[in-house]
């Protein structure tokens, strides 16, 4: 009799996700399905809207990374007007975006990753959360975490007028510049944030790397996939979060392709399955080959680790040091150990803080040429940025009156839909075996699979907590023999 | 302070997560909340379980703060369950209060949303005809994904709501104010706001708090925000830039106009306004400087797609609630 | 049984209401489908009134004011004139057929004209059939 295990996280990706695991007679995993049961419809209901309104509508796709959508949208809209943008505006947007990354990475690292590592993967679930972390590491550090994230948010508010649900970008630039007194207010915070990134790296070393069990879990656990990597890079192949070309590198380090934003449709396509509302992007030139690993696979990841995997080096010195140390510890570049995403996030944060410092020292940053008035409507634009959880593409067209006629979005998490499907199955197969009864511990390990793979996935599903809320049902011949249900 | 901690739940329906971030953005205040309350359910930080909620006595929770709209049966089920378990039920944020940005979907047919996402789109797999189905069988395994309601609802179209906190998301200081008001009411240190009250905002229109100069000037043309360098001291409407300030409740600190950006109305209708869109419509027409129908049409050409401005954050809360196209 | 549309008529006191009154006292026969609500001036007709009437089950809404230039308060009807195109656009986007809402200028002496407008509008709305708004909203809630 086939048994079915449903893992139904009671959360949402503008909705929610669930996992169905089917066991054969012997109790081995026959198949698994990671299903995303909701569809947003943004691509349809932005049609007919004035194109300049889109950057302040699409932010509601995700309130945890609204600035990513705001920036990608703004760039796509710039494109619809011929692409001319005040150079200062690019700087200001990039500066703003670094702060957004820091806010988000702090939240993810401390609320998501830290509970598993600071408290342990098999800690009591009732304390395995961000408050548990605060209690363990001490209120002082907890306070520093809260304060640092708050400052990163405040920097955005000062530069762009609002943080969550951004309003600031207009075609050709931004709505307001940065005043000298505002810059002075920001500067000391940037220094503090930089120090905090150094502290976080040290914490990771002390807590995670000093523990051989964790290192073993990261490097040799079941959490690896032989699929490719995607990320945005600058001309020298250093990671860039706001601008550049998308580079795809295979898991052995060889470049597969590199494309400019407006070429995305030649390189990426999306496969549809009847059983999920979320599409499965793949490398178009290779064709859809199914959920398969290997050097010929058309599946790729777009995560913090993937970004570092496609990069030849970091853009700033301290980040470069952290980058080198990380890959040396993990056995070389690129790296397939998905749990290393947590570390990669911290390395990125160092670059974010250093870039912010550079902008703070830029004498032009307080200038007043922050917007140009577009002269013509050219009708089409693609904007690509790195969202915290992966490459984010917005593609719009508009009519001569600059009214949106179509929109296509490939959001960060969607890129990772295929790999998540695959790693879930892989981990389930390695853990659930004939004679092994699925229990809470196994549930958590499976959960770690996709959290480890892409903790930002939880962000996409609006779940900042240490664990996704799950529901597991074990069916045996129509009877429910086990029932676990956990809200966070 | 009462001996017994307050029992609270924070939960989401169809939400973007920004409301959660706005609660996080109160920074250190979170720790005060933690000290004051037992957070029985908060997917963000606490470890509550659904079955724990089901096991609670009716009214066992002092307060539930719910954000997000209702667009599927699970949202509705949880809203009803938490309502039953709570003394006070708060709709937090524009989605909960009015339907929010996702409510714009109420203006388009569901089938078109599907077609756009899966069939007619530049990055879809060449030749794809597959669309997701609520029930499928793959290799003999039956799989289901929920069916979604045809439209988006605001919370009080589904459950009884005691208080509303507007904003997309509510600004952190207003979030704080709202929580403190509720705590005050529950601990008997302050008078409870009347049922149905909007808390965490003011009883006046945004324009009343906006520092920009208003001179009753009328206009001969509208400008879209990208077509003009706005003057930072003059009312945006009087510069011909559509701004929802007069139809909108004040409470955000005039964030958008202060940043050179027109208000789009996320704090919901101003006091005593039944339909925010109708109110904005009146405001927009009253600024047009013309008595000639043709010229009026011409001026209005500068303001395309008025509908999406009218109830930007609350199609479900508007009088017509959704498209009635047959 | 033929469908008898319910039409709400917002009429300004000074011209249009007097015009309607004249139609009555002159025994001009016209359809009895319009429930008249008298307002002091067409400027007083907040767009909310129109939406509320539709929401509450009206099959059509007729708005009448003095001819341009003749408003008792001199400029009131221009306000209505400026609101009307936006209102029409809004209603169209909400899927409301255009014949359900109509603005006309009717003077105190135009009893016949008022009757003709009412008859014409009644026929057009009758052809459209009953407005589904009220029932649709109730069904949405009930069936979900
Ligand atoms: S009100 Fe705004 S911030 Fe809150 S859930 Fe809705 S879209 Fe997100
Ligand atoms: S319309 Fe906008 S800019 Fe003008 S006063 Fe009101 S809020 Fe300020
Ligand atoms: S100005 Fe308007 S849109 Fe902006 S935050 Fe305030 S209420 Fe919301
Ligand atoms: S009095 Fe008749 S329209 Fe103003």
In the sheet that holds C7-12, the strands lie side by side as: C34-39, C7-12, C60-65, C101-105
Tokens encoding B55: 């096991």
C-alpha of A307 from chain center:
10
How far lies B220's CA from each of B242, B263, B303, C69, in Å? 13, 21, 12, 20
Residues of chain B neighbouring A44 (CB-CB closer than 8 A) = 105, 108, 112-113, 116-117
Q: Is residue B323 part of a domain?
A: no
Residue B180's SS3 state is helix
- From B274's Cα to the closest Cα of chain A, the distance in A is 24
Q: Which residues of C touch B293 (CB under 8 A)?
A: 81, 85
A378: preceding bond cis by omega (within 30 degrees): no
The reply to whether residue B50 touches residue A485, judged by beta carbons under 8 angstroms, is: yes
Q: Closest-CA residue in chain B for A63?
A: B18
Name the β-bridge partners of A239: A233
- Output the six-digit token pair for A67: 């600035």
Can you read off the two tokens belonging to residue B140? 């003999």
Nearest chain B residue to C143 by CA: give it: B149
ipTM over 0.85: yes
H helices of chain B, in order, are 18-24, 29-36, 50-55, 73-85, 94-98, 110-118, 172-187, 206-209, 255-258, 276-287, 293-300, 306-310
B173/B38 same-domain check: yes
Within a domain: B1? no
CB B155 within 8 A of CB A47: no
* Domain coverage including residue B307: 206-317
**Per-residue pLDDT tens for A316-358?**
999 999 999 999 998 899 999 888 888 999 999 999 999 999 9
Partners of chain B (3+ Cβ pairs below 8 A): A, C
What pLDDT does residue B142 have?
76
Would you tell me which CATH number, out of the four given (3.40.50.720, 3.50.50.60, 1.10.645.10, 1.10.260.40), belongs to the domain A42-373+408-415? Answer: 1.10.645.10
- Please give the DSSP secondary-structure letter assigned to residue A291: S
Q: Which of B202, B206, B248 to mutate to test the pocket of ligand 2 (most atoms within 8 A of CB)?
A: B206
Q: How confident is the model at residue A206 (pLDDT cuts 50, 70, 90)?
A: confident
- What residue's CA is closest to ligand 1, atom 2? B168
Distance (Å) from CA B253 to ligand 2 centroid? 12
A475 phi and psi, to 5 degrees? Answer: -105, 135
- Is residue A86 a contact partner of residue A370, using CB atoms and an 8 Å limit? yes
Residue A472 has a pLDDT of 41
Residue B322 located in a structural domain: no
**B185 plus B54 within the same structural domain:** yes
Q: Is residue B324 in some structural domain?
A: no
pLDDT value for B124: 82
Whole-number Å distance between alpha carbons of A252 and C44: 73
Query: Phi/psi class of residue A294: alpha, beta or left (left: φ > 0; alpha: ψ in -120 to 50)?
Result: left
Q: How many residues does chain C have?
A: 144
Within 10 Å of residue B319's Cβ, how many Cβ atoms?
A: 21
Alpha-carbon torsion A115, A117, A119, A125, what sign? positive
A287 to chain B nearest CA, in Å?
Answer: 9
Asked if the structure places residue B326 within a domain, the reply is no
Task: Say what the pLDDT of residue A450 is.
Answer: 67
Examine the domain organization and report whether B155 and B144 are in the same domain.
no
Q: Which atom of ligand 2 sits closest to the CA of residue B206?
A: 7
Interface contact flag, B25 A164, Cβ < 8 Å = yes
Q: Which of A365, A364, A401 is nearest to B226 (CA)?
A: A401
The Å distance, Cα B237 to ligand 2 centre, comes to 6
Cβ contact (<8 Å) for A111 and B125? no
- Are B204 and B51 within 8 A, CB to CB? no
Q: Do A129 and B45 touch (CB under 8 A)?
A: yes
Q: Do A162 and B31 touch (CB under 8 A)?
A: no
Q: What pLDDT was estimated at residue A3?
A: 63
Q: Do A161 and B117 touch (CB under 8 A)?
A: no
Q: State pLDDT tens for residues B30-69.
A: 778 877 888 887 765 554 556 778 889 999 999 999 999 9
Clarify whether residues B166 and B281 are in a common domain.
Answer: no
Q: Would an 8 Å CB–CB cutoff place A179 in contact with chain B?
A: no
Cis peptide before A333 (omega within 30 of 0): no
By Cβ distance, the residue of A163, A167, A374 closest to B256 is A167
- For C57-67, the pLDDT digits (tens) are 999 999 999 99
Q: How many CB pairs under 8 A join A and B?
A: 270
Residue B74: which region, alpha, beta or left (left: phi > 0; alpha: psi -120 to 50)?
A: alpha
Question: In terms of C-beta density within 10 A (0-12 exposed, 13-18 middle, 19 or more buried), how is residue B52 classed?
Answer: middle
Residue-averaged pLDDT of chain C: 94
Our mutation pick for probing the ligand 2 site, out of B237, B241, B260, counting the most ligand atoms within 8 A of Cβ, is: B237
In a domain? residue B266: yes
Strand partners of residue A29: A23
**What is the residue with the minimal CA distance to atom 2 of ligand 4?**
C66
B185–chain C nearest CA distance, Å: 32
Phi, psi of A20 (to 5 degrees): -110, 125
Convert the pLDDT of each residue in A108-163 to its tens digit: 788 766 776 776 666 665 566 666 676 777 777 778 888 899 999 999 999 999 88
**Would you say B168 and B18 are in contact if contact means Cβ atoms under 8 Å apart?**
yes
Tell me if C94 and B320 make a contact (CB, 8 A cut-off). Answer: yes
For the CA of B266, the nearest atom of ligand 3: 8
Does ligand 4 come within 6 angstroms of the Cβ of C91? no
Nearest alpha-carbon partner for C101 in C40, C65, C68, C58? C58
Ligand 3 pocket test target in B256, B268, B269 with most atoms within 8 Å of CB: B256
| H/E run at residue B41 | strand B37-41
- C-alpha dist (Å) from residue B7 to A52, B117, C36: 44, 42, 54
Residues B84 and B142 placed together within one structural domain of the fold: no
Alpha-carbon distance values, B62 to B5, B29, B56, B184, B273 (Å): 10, 19, 12, 12, 30
- The proportion of chain A whose per-residue pLDDT surpasses 70, expressed as a percent, equals 80
- Token pair for residue B95? 């989605």
pLDDT tens profile B169-206: 999 999 999 988 888 888 888 898 999 999 999 999 99
> CA of C132: which chain B residue's CA is closest?
B324
Query: Burial letters for A356-377: b for 16+ Cβ neighbours within 10 Å, e otherwise?
Result: bbbbbeeeebbeeebbbebeeb
**pLDDT over 60 at A312, yes or no:** yes
Q: Is C66 on the interface with B (CB under 8 A)?
A: no
Share of chain A above pLDDT 90, in %: 54
> What are the tens digits of pLDDT across the range A17-72?
667 777 777 777 777 776 665 556 788 889 999 999 999 999 988 887 899 999 99
Same domain? For B276 and B187 the reply is: no
All residues at 6 or more sequence positions from B111 whose CB lies less than 8 Å from its CB, including other chains: none
Contact B132 A269 (CB under 8 A): no
Cα pseudo-dihedral A434, A440, A441, A443, rounded to 10: 70
Contact between B264 and B244 under an 8 Å Cβ cutoff? The reply is yes
Residues of B in contact with A471 (CB under 8 A): 50
**What does the alpha-carbon distance between residue C123 and residue C31 come to, in Å, rounded to a whole number?**
9
Please tell me the distance from the alpha carbon of residue B165 to that of residue B167, in angstroms, as a whole number: 7
CA of B12: how far to CAs of B68, B91, C140, in Å? 5, 10, 22
Q: Is the minimum CB–CB distance between C127 and chain B shorter than 8 Å?
A: no
- For atom 2 of ligand 3, the residue with the nearest CA is B263
Q: Domain total for chain B?
A: 3
Which three-class secondary structure state does DSSP give residue A296?
coil
Model confidence at A417, pLDDT cuts 50, 70, 90, reads confident
Which ligand is the nearest neighbour of the Cα of B212? 2
Phi, psi torsion values for A392, nearest 5 degrees: -120, 125
Whether residues B87 and B145 fall in one domain: no
Name subunits touching A (3+ CB pairs < 8 A). B
Length of chain B: 326
Kindly indicate the confidence band of residue B147, based on its pLDDT and cuts at 50, 70 and 90.
low
C103: which chain B residues are within 8 Å (Cβ-Cβ)?
A: none
Ligand 4, atom nearest to C76 Cα:
4
| Mean predicted lDDT score pLDDT of chain A | 83
Give bridge partners of residue A269 from the DSSP assignment: A282
The H-or-E segment that residue B64 falls in is strand B61-67
Nearest residue of chain B to residue A275 (CA atoms): B132
Residue A237 has pLDDT above 70, yes or no: yes
CB pairs under 8 A between B and C: 86
State how far the Cα of B125 lies from the Cα of A410, in Å rounded to an integer.
13
Q: Write the DSSP assignment of A225-277 as a string of letters.
A: ---EEEEEE-TTS-B-SSSSEEEEE-TTS-EEEEE-GGGHHHHEEEE--TT-S
Contact B322 C140 (CB under 8 A): yes
Contact assessment for residue A5 and residue A20, using Cβ atoms and an 8 Å cutoff = yes
Domain ranges of chain C: 7-143
- Chain-wide mean pLDDT for chain B? 89
Residue A41 to residue B28, Cβ atoms within 8 A: no
State the pLDDT at residue A480.
40
- Tell the burial category of B35 from Cβ atoms under 10 Å away from its Cβ (0-12, 13-18, 19+): exposed
A175/B121 CB distance under 8 A: no
With a cut of 50, say whether residue B228 has pLDDT above it: yes
CATH architecture group of domain C7-143? 3-Layer(aba) Sandwich (3.40)
Q: What's the gap in Å between the CA of A184 and the closest CA on chain B?
A: 19
Is the Cβ pair B278, C95 closer than 8 Å? no
| Confidence band of B95 (pLDDT split at 50, 70, 90) | very high
CA torsion sign for A40, A44, A45, A51 is positive
CATH 1.10.645.10 domain extents, chain A: 42-373+408-415
Interchain contact C46–B (C-beta under 8 A) = yes
Q: String of b and e for C11-44 (b: at least 16 CB within 10 Å)?
A: bbbbbbbbbbbbbeeeebebbebbebeebebbbb
Q: In sequence order, which residues have a C-beta less than 8 Å from that of residue B28 and are 6 or more positions away?
A: A143, A146, A147
For ligand 3, residues with CB inside 6 Å are B 206, 248, 252, 254-257, 263-267
Residues in B closer than 8 angstroms to A2, CB to CB, are 140-141
The nearest alpha carbon in chain A to B29 belongs to A146
- Whether residue C133 and residue B310 make contact (CB cut-off 8 A), yes or no, is no
> Which of B271, B279, B287 has the alpha carbon at shortest distance from B312?
B279
User: Which residues in chain C touch residue B284, judged by CB atoms under 8 angstroms apart?
Assistant: 86
Confirm or reject contact between C95 and chain B (CB < 8 A). yes
Residue of B nearest to A46 (CA): B104
């Amino acid at each position: 009799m086939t048994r079915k295990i449903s893992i139904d996280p009671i959360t949402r990706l503008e909705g929610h996700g669930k996992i169905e695991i089917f066991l054969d007679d012997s109790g081995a995993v026959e198949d698994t399905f990671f299903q995303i049961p909701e569809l947003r419809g943004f691509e349809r209901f932005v049609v007919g809207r004035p194109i300049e309104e889109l950057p302040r509508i699409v932010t509601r796709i995700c309130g945890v990374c609204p600035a990513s959508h705001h920036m990608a949208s703004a760039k796509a809209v710039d494109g619809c007007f011929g692409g001319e943008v005040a150079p200062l505006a690019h700087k200001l947007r990039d500066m703003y975006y670094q702060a957004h990354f820091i806010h988000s990475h702090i939240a993810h690292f401390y609320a998501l990753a830290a509970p598993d590592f600071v408290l342990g993967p098999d800690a009591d679930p009732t304390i395995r959360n961000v408050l548990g972390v605060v209690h363990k590491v001490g209120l002082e550090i907890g306070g520093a975490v809260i304060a640092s994230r708050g400052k990163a948010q405040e920097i955005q508010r000062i530069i762009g007028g609002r943080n969550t649900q951004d309003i600031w970008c207009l075609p050709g630039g931004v709505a307001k510049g940065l005043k000298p007194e505002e810059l002075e207010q920001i500067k000391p915070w940037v220094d503090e944030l930089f120090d905090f990134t150094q502290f976080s790296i040290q914490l990771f070393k002390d807590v995670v790397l000093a523990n051989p069990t964790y290192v073993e879990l990261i490097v040799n656990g079941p959490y690896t996939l032989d699929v490719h990597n995607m990320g945005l890079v600058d001309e020298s192949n250093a990671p860039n979060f706001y601008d550049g070309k998308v580079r795809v590198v295979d898991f052995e380090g060889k470049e597969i392709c590199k494309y400019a934003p407006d070429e995305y449709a030649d390189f990426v396509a999306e496969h549809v399955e009847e059983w999920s509302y979320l599409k499965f992007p793949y490398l178009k030139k290779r064709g859809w080959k199914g959920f398969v690993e290997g050097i010929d696979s058309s599946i790729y990841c777009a995560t913090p680790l993937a970004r570092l995997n496609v990069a030849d080096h970091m853009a700033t010195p301290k980040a470069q040091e952290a980058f080198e140390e990380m890959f040396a510890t993990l056995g070389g570049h690129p790296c397939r150990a998905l749990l290393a995403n947590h570390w990669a996030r911290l390395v990125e944060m160092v670059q974010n803080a250093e870039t912010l410092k550079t902008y703070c020292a830029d004498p032009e940053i307080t200038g007043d040429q922050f917007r140009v008035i577009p002269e013509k409507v050219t009708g089409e634009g693609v904007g690509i940025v790195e969202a915290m959880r992966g490459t984010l593409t917005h593609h719009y067209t508009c009519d001569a009156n600059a009214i949106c006629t179509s929109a296509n979005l490939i959001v960060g998490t969607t890129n990772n839909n295929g790999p998540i499907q695959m790693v879930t199955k892989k981990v389930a197969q390695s853990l659930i075996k004939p004679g092994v009864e699925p229990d809470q511990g196994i549930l958590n390990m499976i959960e770690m699979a996709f959290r480890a793979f892409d903790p930002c996935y939880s962000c996409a599903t609006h779940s900042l907590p240490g664990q996704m809320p799950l529901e597991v049902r074990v069916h045996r011949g129509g009877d429910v023999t086990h029932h676990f249900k956990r809200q966070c | 302070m009462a001996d017994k901690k307050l029992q609270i739940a924070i939960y989401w329906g169809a939400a973007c997560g920004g409301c959660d971030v706005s609660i996080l953005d109160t920074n250190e205040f979170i720790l005060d909340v933690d000290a004051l309350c037992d957070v029985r359910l908060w997917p963000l930080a606490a470890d509550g379980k659904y079955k724990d909620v089901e096991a609670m006595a009716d009214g066992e929770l002092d307060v539930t703060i719910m954000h997000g709209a209702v667009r599927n049966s699970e949202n509705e089920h949880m809203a009803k369950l938490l309502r039953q378990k709570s003394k006070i039920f708060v709709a937090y944020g524009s989605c909960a209060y009015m339907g929010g940005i996702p409510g714009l979907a109420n203006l388009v047919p569901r089938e078109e949303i599907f077609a756009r996402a899966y069939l007619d789109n530049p990055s879809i797999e060449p030749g794809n005809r597959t669309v997701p189905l609520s029930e499928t069988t793959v290799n003999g395994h039956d799989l289901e994904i929920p069916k979604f309601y045809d439209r988006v609802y605001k919370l009080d179209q589904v459950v009884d709501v005691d208080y509303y906190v507007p904003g997309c998301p509510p600004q952190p200081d207003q979030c704080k104010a709202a929580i403190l008001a509720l705590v005050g009411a529950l601990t008997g240190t302050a008078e409870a706001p009347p049922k149905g009250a909007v808390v965490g905002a003011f009883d006046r229109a945004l324009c009343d708090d906006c520092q920009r100069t208003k001179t009753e000037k009328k206009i001969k043309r509208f400008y879209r925000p990208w077509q003009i360098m706005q003057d930072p001291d003059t009312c945006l409407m009087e510069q011909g830039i559509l701004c929802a300030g007069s139809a909108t409740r004040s409470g955000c600190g005039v964030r958008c106009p202060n940043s050179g950006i027109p208000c789009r109305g996320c704090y919901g209708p101003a006091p005593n306004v039944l339909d925010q869109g109708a109110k904005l419509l009146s405001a927009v027409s009253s600024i047009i400087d013309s008595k000639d129908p043709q010229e009026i049409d011409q001026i209005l050409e500068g303001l395309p797609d008025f509908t999406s401005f009218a109830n930007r954050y609350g199609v479900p809360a508007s009088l017509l609630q959704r498209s009635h196209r047959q | 049984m033929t469908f008898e549309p319910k039409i709400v008529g917002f009429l300004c006191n000074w011209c249009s209401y007097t015009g309607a009154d004249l139609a009555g006292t002159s025994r001009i026969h016209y359809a009895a489908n319009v429930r008249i609500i008298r307002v002091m001036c067409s400027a007083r007709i907040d767009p909310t009134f129109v939406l509320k009437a539709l929401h509450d089950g009206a099959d059509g809404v007729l708005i009448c004011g003095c001819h341009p230039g003749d408003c008792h308060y001199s400029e009131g009807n221009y306000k209505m004139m400026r609101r009307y195109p936006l209102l029409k656009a809004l209603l169209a986007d909400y899927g409301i057929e255009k014949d359900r809402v109509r603005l006309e200028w009717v003077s105190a002496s135009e009893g016949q004209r008022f009757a003709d407008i009412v008859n014409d509008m009644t026929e057009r709305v009758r052809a459209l059939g009953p407005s589904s708004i009220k029932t649709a909203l109730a069904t949405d809630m009930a069936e979900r």
